[in-house]
């Protein structure tokens, strides 16, 4: 494969996908990485160093990652020339090499380019945004019992208001849309039709079913007691409300769920353990107060794209903040790992921020490859560094008697605790 600016490491090999979607992982898999904008320059090298150390310690040179830099965002503009934000060969590489990891990418508010993060997810059809939220002992938290927060978010990653179907106020296009809605669809409720922007929220049965299927399967595989559909279906009946109905329908159709006490909640039997898994739903605003008051009642969460975005940061805050909030974007075959947080531009290039989110995203990636020993070492390193109170600014400012470390020093502290 001839790339213009991507150098394929000679010593590495490609990961391949088998017909049952399992992976064949060579001893030196080539992993594409996007450095990321803003703090990407700080956290990405630290992530690579910690991962390399964990792999070396676990497998003593028998395995190793062949990192391959691919470009997106501001760095792509530097490498490929102005106004190249997501080069075609970057898309090709992350698709063909199957498993990749990325730093955060900037999206301007209002005008300017649309989100490159969303574009990557949509174009690769990475329809699951998987964001586990767990507590590490000793992490400063604003809640009294942070250890009770242990949830895994399945955020729909390909539809909803995130599809980017919108028209700006005052344009001929929005006038056409408003005219269509008023004249052909009989819509009378646009309060200020002359000065409205309009956005469209597609939510499908197919998209809902494939997400909820993954969430229930995760609950089965990980012996979790419940799966909750979080929605705003009382207001947005045919999108969020339909998501709830289609979610229950999928649980019945494919997992044999039965209504519990006449419904709407259901229960299904975990085929691996025989235990019951409750399938329930909650309206999103109520959910946001209950996760603070009774977090232990929630476990696996399936929700639409925008709700999932808000819930990710809110839940991350309960267990210490988005400095240690990892994630993965998944299709049935391709996987791209990334932190929950963004580019935190005010800290860019200062070697200051917490690299924990990206490192824990890499921990998920190692587990995805089946390299559990190396993944376990990363968790051990994180637990050890936090327990020793050797932490970055975000934790240090909330911890008594902590030692303030830079981003790179925190990576070294983790390696020291493996
Ligand atoms: N997937 C992606 O690539 C994402 C990209 N973005 C993009 O990032 C840009 C900035 O977004 P913004 O809304 O400011 O959100 P950010 O997540 O970038 O930052 C918000 C705040 O979170 C804290 N924070 C973020 N990362 C870390 C870290 N690694 N360690 C410690 N604290 C951290 C900081 O808090 P404090 O000020 O308290 O220190 C920071 O000011 C936007 O262009 C946005 O579109 C946003 C989210 C995801
Ligand atoms: O794409 C962006 O800039 C923001 C995305 C985001 O906030 C998220 O995925 O959590
Ligand atoms: Mg977000």
Per-residue pLDDT of the chain (418 residues; tens, 9 = 90+): 689 999 999 999 999 999 999 999 999 999 999 999 999 999 999 999 999 999 999 999 999 999 999 999 999 999 999 999 999 999 999 999 999 999 999 998 877 788 999 999 999 999 999 999 999 999 999 999 999 999 999 999 999 999 889 999 999 999 999 999 999 999 999 999 999 999 999 999 999 999 999 999 999 999 999 999 999 999 999 999 999 999 999 999 999 999 999 999 999 999 999 999 999 999 999 999 999 999 999 999 999 999 999 999 999 999 999 999 999 999 999 999 999 999 999 999 999 999 999 999 999 999 999 999 999 999 999 999 999 999 999 999 999 999 999 999 999 999 999 9
Measured CA to CA, the distance from residue 110 to residue 113 in angstroms comes to: 9
Q: Is 134 annotated as a binding residue?
A: no
User: How many beta carbons lie within 10 A of that of residue 150, not counting itself?
Assistant: 16
What confidence score (pLDDT) does residue 2 get? Answer: 86
Q: Which residues, 6 or more positions from 399, have their beta carbon under 8 angstroms from its beta carbon?
A: 138, 140, 389, 391
Q: Is 209 annotated as a binding residue?
A: no
- Spell out a b/e string for 4-13, using b for 16 or more CB atoms within 10 Å of the CB, else e: eebeeeeebe
Inter-residue contact 392 to 405 (CB < 8 Å) = yes
Is residue 309 within 6 Å of ligand 2 at its C-beta? yes
Q: Is 309 annotated as a binding residue?
A: yes
* Active-site annotation holder among 179, 221, 253, 285: 285
Inter-residue contact 301 to 230 (CB < 8 Å) = yes
Query: Do the strands 151-156 and 300-303 form a parallel or antiparallel pair, or are they unpaired?
Result: parallel
Measured CA to CA, the distance from residue 361 to residue 257 in angstroms comes to: 32
Is residue 37 within 6 Å of ligand 2 at its C-beta? no
What confidence score (pLDDT) does residue 1 get? Answer: 66
DSSP H or E stretch at residue 24: strand 23-24
What confidence score (pLDDT) does residue 108 get? Answer: 83
| Alpha carbon nearest to ligand 2 atom 7, residue | 309
Tell me the CA–centroid distance for residue 274 and ligand 2, in Å: 38
Measured CA to CA, the distance from residue 217 to residue 376 in angstroms comes to: 23
Tell me the CA–centroid distance for residue 172 and ligand 3, in Å: 31
User: How many beta carbons lie within 10 A of that of residue 260, not counting itself?
Assistant: 15
Is residue 131 within 6 Å of ligand 1 at its C-beta? no
What confidence score (pLDDT) does residue 122 get? Answer: 95
User: Any idea where the domains of the chain sit in the sequence?
Assistant: 1-139+322-417, 141-150+203-319, 166-199
Tell me the CA–centroid distance for residue 308 and ligand 2, in Å: 10
What confidence score (pLDDT) does residue 257 get? Answer: 98
Tell me the CA–centroid distance for residue 342 and ligand 2, in Å: 7
Is residue 44 within 6 Å of ligand 1 at its C-beta? no
Q: Establish whether this prediction's ipTM goes over 0.90.
A: yes
Inter-residue contact 136 to 360 (CB < 8 Å) = no
What confidence score (pLDDT) does residue 278 get? Answer: 98
Is residue 232 annotated as part of the catalytic site, yes or no? Answer: yes
Q: Cis link prior to 265 (omega < 30° from 0)?
A: no
Q: How many residues does the chain have?
A: 418
Q: Is 121 annotated as a binding residue?
A: yes
- Sign of the Cα pseudo-torsion (242, 163, 343, 35, in order): positive
CATH topology match: 1-139+322-417 vs 141-150+203-319:
yes
Give counts: helices (H), strands (E), the chain.
Answer: 13, 18
pTM comes to 0.97
Instruction: Kindly report the CATH class assigned to 141-150+203-319.
Output: alpha beta
Domain 1-139+322-417: which topology?
Isopropylmalate Dehydrogenase (3.40.718)
Is residue 314 within 6 Å of ligand 2 at its C-beta? no
Inter-residue contact 248 to 267 (CB < 8 Å) = no
Inter-residue contact 374 to 366 (CB < 8 Å) = yes
Please give the structure tokens belonging to residue 242: 């339909």
Quick one: angle between helices 407-416 and 40-59, nearest 10? 10
Q: What is the pLDDT of residues 163-178, one digit of tens each?
A: 889 999 999 999 999 9
| Alpha carbon nearest to ligand 1 atom 14, residue | 344
| Alpha carbon nearest to ligand 1 atom 40, residue | 344
């Amino acid at each position: 494969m001839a790339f213009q600016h991507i150098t394929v490491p000679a010593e590495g090999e490609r990961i391949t996908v088998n017909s049952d979607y399992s992976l064949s992982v060579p001893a030196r898999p080539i992993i594409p990485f996007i450095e990321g904008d803003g703090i990407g320059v700080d956290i990405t090298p630290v992530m690579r160093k910690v991962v390399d150390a964990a792999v070396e310690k676990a497998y003593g040179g028998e395995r190793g990652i062949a990192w391959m830099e691919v470009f997106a965002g501001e760095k792509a503009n530097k490498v490929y020339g102005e106004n190249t934000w997501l080069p075609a060969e970057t898309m090709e590489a992350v698709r063909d090499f199957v498993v990749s990891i990325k730093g955060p990418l900037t999206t301007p508010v209002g005008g300017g380019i649309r989100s490159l993060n969303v574009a990557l997810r949509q174009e690769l059809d990475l329809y699951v945004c998987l964001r586990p939220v767990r507590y590490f002992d000793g992490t400063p938290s604003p809640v009294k019992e942070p250890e009770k927060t242990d949830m895994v978010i399945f955020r729909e990653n390909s539809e909803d208001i995130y599809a980017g179907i919108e028209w700006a106020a005052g344009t001929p296009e929005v006038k056409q849309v408003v005219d269509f809605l008023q004249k052909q669809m009989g819509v009378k409720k646009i309060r200020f039709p002359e000065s409205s922007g309009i956005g469209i929220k597609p939510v499908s049965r197919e998209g809902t079913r494939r997400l909820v299927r993954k969430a229930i399967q995760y609950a089965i595989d990980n012996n979790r007691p419940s799966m909750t559909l979080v929605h705003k279906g009382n207001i947005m009946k045919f999108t969020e409300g339909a998501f709830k109905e289609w979610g229950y329908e999928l649980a019945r159709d494919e997992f044999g769920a039965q209504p519990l006490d006449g419904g709407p909640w259901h229960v299904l039997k975990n085929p691996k353990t025989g235990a019951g898994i409750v399938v329930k739903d909650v309206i999103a605003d109520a959910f946001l107060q209950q996760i603070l008051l009774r977090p232990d009642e929630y476990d696996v969460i399936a929700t639409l794209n925008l709700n999932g975005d808000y819930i990710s940061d809110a839940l991350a805050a309960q267990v210490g903040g988005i400095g240690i909030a990892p994630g993965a974007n998944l299709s049935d075959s391709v996987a791209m790992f990334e932190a929950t947080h963004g580019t935190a531009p005010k800290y860019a290039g200062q070697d200051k921020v917490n690299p924990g989110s990206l490192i824990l995203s890499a921990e998920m990636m190692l587990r995805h490859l089946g390299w559990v020993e190396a993944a376990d070492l990363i968790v051990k390193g994180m637990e050890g560094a936090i327990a020793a109170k050797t932490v970055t600014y975000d934790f240090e400012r909330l911890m008594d008697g902590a030692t303030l470390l830079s981003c790179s020093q925190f990576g070294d502290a983790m390696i020291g605790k493996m």
